[in-house]
């Protein structure tokens, strides 16, 4: 009988050991991962994913990171791919930012952040408002004054649809000095931010551009555009250090475009927290600091449950603004 009891006990210990190891294996981050970019190459999501991947590989956090661009439906196709392919997987994540809130609210796609697993916000990027070098507008105040003096005559191009981020961010900043969104015209480009830049440079009917701060650096350094403001609360470092903020020019409003990463629905809390820990450690490295400074990004780590709460609050703010602008009821 003692032998039988000892055998049963030994079997139970072995079973618990195996079960424990299975759980640990399921919760462990894989050595190879794939990041879905819900837009084409060269945009803000793509740059964030690729630069993050380069640093994580350089510091040997992962052995391999594949980047998969899935553009379409304003980012909706990439989100659907994460949901459809990611069930039960720890090696598939998605990069996204403020548009995931706006495009859900304006019904571009039906999924929200609640249908995913928010892992962590990692950076804060900012918007820029720019004009051609031959523009008579030397400052954001000049541009705002012209809008108020002759409402409806100034056109600002952006790389996204009306009511989305390029439109909303400029509206928020200009209203910080009493310039209504009704005082100017927003003109969406057909093919994103690059197309909007081309419109600014090629058309005399386009007076300004609203786009991501990192996306103006090339043309600014080439001497083709003048950047009137950055939507941050203080000046950025690096290439954009000479560009004033809207705050400096009397526009009492800012706009921050957070960027971060999401897992598929149902990802375990331990895996979610492990990814957040990876991003936290990455931001402590010299390799990451070099990337961050290059693009003018600010570290903005918001992990796990805090990220979820942050998204809820941001969604409420975006909804109010869309209602005020007539894009929602």
pLDDT for the residue 176? 93
Which of 184, 141, 177, 142 lies closest to 162, judged by CA? 184
> pLDDT tens digits for 283-311?
999 999 999 988 888 999 999 999 999 99
Which of 145, 43, 47, 117 lies closest to 311, judged by CA? 117
What percentage of the chain carries pLDDT values higher than 70? 92
pLDDT range class, residue 43, cuts 50, 70, 90: confident
Residue 20 has pLDDT above 60, yes or no: no
289: which 2 tokens? 């600091």
pLDDT for the residue 18? 42
Rounded-to-10 torsion of CA 215, 289, 124, 176:
-70
Helices (H), 150-226: 165-174, 193-202, 217-221
Hey, where are the domains in the chain? 31-123+258-324, 126-249
Q: What is the mean pLDDT of the chain?
A: 90
pLDDT for the residue 6? 61
pLDDT range class, residue 8, cuts 50, 70, 90: low
Question: Is domain 126-249 in CATH 3.40.630.30, yes or no?
Answer: no
pLDDT range class, residue 12, cuts 50, 70, 90: low
| pTM, 2 dp | 0.80
The CATH H-level superfamily of 31-123+258-324 is: Bordetella uptake gene, domain 1 (3.40.190.150)
Which residue shows structure tokens 């408002």? 129
Mean of pLDDT values over 66-72 = 95
Q: Please say whether the beta carbons of 302 and 260 come within 8 A.
A: yes
CA 166 to chain centre: 12
How many helices (H) and strands (E) the chain has is answered by: 11, 10
What percentage of the chain carries pLDDT values higher than 90? 74
- Burial (CB count <10 Å: 0-12, 13-18, 19+), residue 252: exposed
Q: Please say whether the beta carbons of 309 and 118 come within 8 A.
A: no
Residues 6+ apart with CB under 8 A from 223: 133
Residue 16 has pLDDT above 50, yes or no: no
pLDDT range class, residue 2, cuts 50, 70, 90: low
Higher pLDDT, 17 or 36: 36
Residue 4 has pLDDT above 80, yes or no: no
pLDDT for the residue 25? 38
Mean of pLDDT values over 226-233 = 96
CB atoms within 10 A of CB 61: 18
pLDDT for the residue 194? 84
pLDDT range class, residue 206, cuts 50, 70, 90: very high
Which of 258, 230, 231 lies closest to 123, judged by CA? 258
Could you check whether 31-123+258-324 and 126-249 share the same CATH topology?
A: yes
Q: Please say whether the beta carbons of 80 and 74 come within 8 A.
A: no
> pLDDT tens digits for 128-183?
999 999 999 999 999 999 999 999 999 999 988 898 899 999 999 999 999 999 99
Distance (Å, rounded) from C-alpha 226 to C-alpha 123? 25
Q: Please say whether the beta carbons of 129 and 261 come within 8 A.
A: no
117: which 2 tokens? 């697993």
Residue 9 has pLDDT above 60, yes or no: no
Which of 154, 290, 132, 139 lies closest to 220, judged by CA? 132
> pLDDT tens digits for 91-138?
999 999 999 999 999 898 999 999 999 999 999 989 999 999 999 999
193: which 2 tokens? 């931010």
pLDDT for the residue 56? 98
pLDDT for the residue 293? 86
What are the φ/ψ torsions at residue 130 (nearest 5 degrees)?
-130, 160
3-state secondary structure 195-217: HHHHHHHHCCCCCEEEEEHHHCH
């Amino acid at each position: 009988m003692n032998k039988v009891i000892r055998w049963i006990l030994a079997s139970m210990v072995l079973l618990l050991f195996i079960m424990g190891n299975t759980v640990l294996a399921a919760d462990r981050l894989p050595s190879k991962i794939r990041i879905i970019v819900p837009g084409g190459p060269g945009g803000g999501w793509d740059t964030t994913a690729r630069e993050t991947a380069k640093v994580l590989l350089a510091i040997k956090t992962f052995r391999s990171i594949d980047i998969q661009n899935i553009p379409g439906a304003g980012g909706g196709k990439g989100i659907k791919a994460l949901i459809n392919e990611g069930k039960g997987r720890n090696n598939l994540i998605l990069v996204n930012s403020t548009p995931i809130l706006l495009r859900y609210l304006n019904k571009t796609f039906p999924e929200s952040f609640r249908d995913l697993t928010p892992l962590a916000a990692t950076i804060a990027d900012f918007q820029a408002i720019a004009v051609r070098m031959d523009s008579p507008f030397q400052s954001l105040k000049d541009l705002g004054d012209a809008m108020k003096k002759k409402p409806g005559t100034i056109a600002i191009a952006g790389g996204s649809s009306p009511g989305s981020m390029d439109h909303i961010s400029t509206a928020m900043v200009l209203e910080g000095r009493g310039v209504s969104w009704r005082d100017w015209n927003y003109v969406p480009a057909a093919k994103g931010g690059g197309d909007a830049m081309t419109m600014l440079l090629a058309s005399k009917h386009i007076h300004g551009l609203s786009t991501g701060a990192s996306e103006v650096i090339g043309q600014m350094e080439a001497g083709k555009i003048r950047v009137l403001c950055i939507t941050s609360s203080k000046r950025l470092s690096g290439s954009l250090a000479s560009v004033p903020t809207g705050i400096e020019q009397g526009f009492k409003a800012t706009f921050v475009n957070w960027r971060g990463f999401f897992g598929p629905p149902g990802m375990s809390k331990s895996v979610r927290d492990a990814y957040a820990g990876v991003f936290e450690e990455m931001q402590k490295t010299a390799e990451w600091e070099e990337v961050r400074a290059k693009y003018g990004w600010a570290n903005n780590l918001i992990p796990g449950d805090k990220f979820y709460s942050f998204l809820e609050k941001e969604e409420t703010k975006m909804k109010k603004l869309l209602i005020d602008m007539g894009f929602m009821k």
